[in-house]
Chain A
Amino acid sequence: MLHTKIVDSKKEKILILNAEKFISNSKFGASIYFLGSVRNINDNKKVTGITYDSHDEMVIKSFEEIYNEADQKLNIKDKSVFIEHAKGYLKLGETSIIIAVACKHRDQAYVLSRFIIEEIKKKSPIWKKEHYENDESVWLKGNPFINEKV
């Protein structure tokens, strides 16, 4: 089972409660919640917030591909996965991403959660513009988009 969504920060917030509702199932004995949030310092600069940009359709597609790859690469077929990523401006401490996974056993849940966030970093077209105390803003460098199919 998979849930994916891009959450527009102007309209709503990412809520852990929604993730809990989605992955909760008595057939799974292990659940992991990973939350990413806006940090106050980056490269010795005082950060005041981050604007997230996303190619929504490609991001959702990448989440689905990552979920399916977990079947083949990790051989974890029985699982529940909830992924939401924010879009728009977020203040310090606000949640930018939630990855909630539920599996039968804890080993699978830990591996799956880590796998998903690392793959998102490589494959999901999302960008960050950091805002600093002195009113400067900078798009973060990022990593070239990896597409194994081209």
Chain B
Amino acid sequence: MKIKLELFGASRDFSEKNYLELEVQDKASINNLRDIIIQYLNKNFKGNKNFIKIVKSSAFCSENNQIISDNYKITKDQKIAIIPPIGGG
């Protein structure tokens, strides 16, 4: 399955585009998705430690704007947003 991972905040540095396209297995969890993003970062950014830290401390959000838990199972092609640590105001 394909995930379109929308990038926000510090994670925008992961790509020149606003998103990443990632292959995941059926019923992959958000924890599995984290591992896949880290594999991408290892390959493309020599395992940039700051980037990996961002992934580990991020939440994830579904296309209907719900925060999804680490155990959420991905069962279809979909858009997911990565929500790095926040700080507006």
Given contacts A57-B65, A61-B65, contact A143 B89 (CB under 8 A): no
User: Is B87 a contact partner of A128 (Cβ separation < 8 A)?
Assistant: yes
Q: Classify the interface of chain A: helix, strand, loop or mixed.
A: mixed
Distance from A124 Cβ to chain B, minimum over Cβ atoms (Å): 5
User: Is A142 a contact partner of B67 (Cβ separation < 8 A)?
Assistant: no
Distance from A6 Cβ to chain B, minimum over Cβ atoms (Å): 10
Q: How large is the interface on B (under 10, 10 to 19, 20 to 34, 35 or more residues)?
A: 20 to 34
Tell me the number of A-to-B contacts counted with CB atoms below 8 Å.
87
A117 (CB) vs chain B CBs: closest residue? B89
We find that the number of chain A residues with CB closer than 8 angstroms to chain B is: 32
Q: Interface centre among B12, B58, B85, by most A CB within 10 Å?
A: B85
Complex contacts, B68 vs chain A, CB 8 Å: 150
Complex contacts, A59 vs chain B, CB 8 Å: 88
Known: A144-B58, A150-B59. 13 other contacts (CB 8 A): A54-B88, A57-B65, A58-B61, A96-B89, A122-B86, A125-B8, A127-B9, A127-B84, A127-B86, A139-B9, A143-B85, A144-B85, A145-B59
